[in-house]
Amino acid sequence: MSVYGFDEYVAMDARIGHLLREAESADEGGHRFCRFEAWYGEGSQGLGFRGQVNELVGYMREGIGPVPLGTSNAYDVVYERIYGAPPDCKGRCACNSLALTA
């Protein structure tokens, strides 16, 4: 069984590429941005990037589609890439506050 890379998974489902671009531009230019809130999602803003990864790859993938997208390798590869994509935290996000008081 061959092991695919990120670009090959994007070729199987373009939504993965869209999610990467969304993650890379997640900081919309406000005073404050938190990459962990963006990853885990926050309240009524709905799914964070993590939840969207869950919908696209791995065992929790919704619907049918190319079989490789449902594998744990797809999950690992896409998870790692999307997790690393958002810009650094800025302003008084929870992580920065914790760091300041530690």
Binding site for Zn ion (CB under 5 A): 34, 36, 89, 93, 95
Q: How far is the CB of 84 from Zn ion (least distance, A)?
A: 15
**62: its two tokens:** 């919704």
Nearer to Zn ion, 72 or 97 (CB): 97
How far apart, in whole angstroms, are the C-alpha atoms of residue 84 and residue 3? 21
Whether the CA torsion 71, 10, 77, 22 is positive or negative: it is: negative
Nearer to Zn ion, 34 or 69 (CB): 34
**66: its two tokens:** 């190319």
Q: How far is the CB of 51 from Zn ion (least distance, A)?
A: 18
Q: How far is the CB of 31 from Zn ion (least distance, A)?
A: 13
Nearer to Zn ion, 73 or 96 (CB): 96
CA dihedral 43→44→47→48, nearest 10 degrees, is -50
